[in-house]
């Protein structure tokens, strides 16, 4: 029988989210940014499942939302990598700070 | 003992997540990211969501990783070893991440769910009557299903129209199809 308090799950998810946020903001390579975004989505999923188990076991809304988030995340990865490949073909670089054709 | 499993899994996930966001070699980053996803799948298992743990491993560790590796190999450019992998916003990003963590920590401290020390146990007596009619879940698992978070209940919620999520589920499949077609359109070479 598990006795880990709910707050520890929340802190774990918070740490994962913050690491992902840092990666999104600080990394140069677009694929690293994508990895950071996926990490943030996973942190959200942990929160959903922890609340589903600790708060409201009778409703499956949390796990169902996790399935939707995973599906949307997979779709996002497909589109984002297509954009990265397209940008690489145009600019010969996958670094987000070198792609500034729209910069005024 | 059972508690330590969670802390070990969380430690592995956080360490490998940190490595994935700071290492120089993109392949190493992706591999540590895979390890972090494995750790998250283990935490899902710890939260009694064995189906979602399997989905996590199949989709993130299996499919997305292959995508990421293809992406890395398609866009490989020889970066100078002395150029930093971080952009100019390193300090700002650190401040933003730590600030967000601090504010959310304060929110968790203030919140009422700090008192939730134990997961809810669904006993036979305490099992509430949800008023649902005989559905796939009760047909498959029987009335003495020990956990409401079972795969059968999840499938019932996603597939049976009277449980509310069936239409959203179908829309997600349309979204995936649209993303598939969109990715092909965006990534293909312009016919000259």
Using the beta-carbon criterion (under 8 Å), do A94 and B77 form an inter-chain contact? Answer: yes
A100 in reach of chain B (CB within 8 A): no
Residue B87 covered by a domain: no
User: Does a structural domain hold residue B13?
Assistant: yes
How many structural domains does chain B have? 2
Model pLDDT for residues B97-155, shown as the tens digit of each residue: 999 999 999 998 888 776 666 666 544 344 445 544 444 444 444 444 445 667 777 88
Among B76, B96, B111, the domain boundary falls at B76
Residue B113 lies in a domain: no
| CATH for A6-91, options being 1.10.10.10, 1.10.287.3510, 2.40.50.140, 1.20.1540.10 | 1.10.287.3510
Is B69 a domain residue?
Answer: yes
Span B1-52, pLDDT tens digits: 678 899 999 999 999 999 999 988 888 999 999 999 999 999 999 888 889 9
Least confident of A4-18, A43-57, B40-54: A43-57
Kindly report whether the global pTM for this prediction surpasses the value 0.80. yes
**With an 8 Å Cβ cutoff, are A81 and B47 in contact?**
no
Choose among B70, B149, B182: nearest Cβ to A52.
B149
CA distances from B88 to A35, B2, B78, B93 (A): 19, 43, 20, 9
Report d(CA B136, CA B109) in Å as an integer: 41
- Confidence class of residue A59 from pLDDT cuts 50, 70 and 90? confident
What CATH number corresponds to the domain at position B36?
1.20.120.1200
Distance CA A30, CA A87 (A): 10
Give me the domain span that covers residue B25: 1-76
Residues in chain B: 192
Of A39, A77, A89, the CB nearest to B67: A77
Q: Taking CB atoms and an 8 Å limit, are A28 and B94 in contact across chains?
A: no
Q: Which residues in chain A are closer than 8 Å to B114, comparing Cβ atoms?
A: 5-7
Number of Cβ within 10 Å of residue B26's Cβ equals 23
Tell if the CB–CB gap between A82 and B189 is shorter than 8 Å. no
| Sequence spans of domains, chain A | 6-91
């Amino acid at each position: 029988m598990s006795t880990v308090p709910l707050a520890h799950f929340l802190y774990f998810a918070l740490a994962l989210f913050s690491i992902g946020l840092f990666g999104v903001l600080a990394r140069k390579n677009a694929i690293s940014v994508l990895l950071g975004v996926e990490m943030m989505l996973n942190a959200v999923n942990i929160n959903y499942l922890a609340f589903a188990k600790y708060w409201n076991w009778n409703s499956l809304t949390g796990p169902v939302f996790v399935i939707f988030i995973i599906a949307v995340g997979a779709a996002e990865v497909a589109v984002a990598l297509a954009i990265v490949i397209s940008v690489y073909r145009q600019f010969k670089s996958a670094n987000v700070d070198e792609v500034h054709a729209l910069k005024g | 003992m059972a508690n330590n499993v969670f802390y070990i899994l969380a430690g592995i996930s956080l360490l490998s997540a940190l490595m994935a966001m700071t290492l120089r070699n993109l392949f190493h980053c992706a591999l540590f990211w895979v390890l972090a996803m494995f750790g998250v799948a283990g935490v899902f298992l710890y939260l009694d969501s064995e189906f979602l743990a399997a989905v996590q491993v199949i989709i993130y560790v299996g499919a997305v990783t292959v995508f990421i590796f293809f992406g890395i190999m398609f866009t490989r450019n020889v970066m100078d070893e002395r150029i930093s992998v971080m952009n100019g916003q390193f300090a700002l990003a650190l401040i933003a991440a730590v600030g967000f963590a601090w504010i959310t920590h304060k929110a968790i401290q203030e919140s009422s769910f700090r008192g939730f020390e134990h997961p809810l146990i669904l006993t036979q007596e305490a099992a509430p009557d949800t008023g649902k009619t005989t559905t796939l879940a009760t047909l498959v698992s029987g009335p003495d299903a020990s956990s409401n978070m079972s795969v059968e209940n999840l499938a019932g919620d996603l597939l049976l129209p009277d449980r509310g999520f069936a239409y959203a589920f179908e829309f997600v499949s349309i979204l995936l199809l649209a993303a598939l077609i969109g990715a092909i359109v965006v990534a293909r070479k312009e016919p000259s």
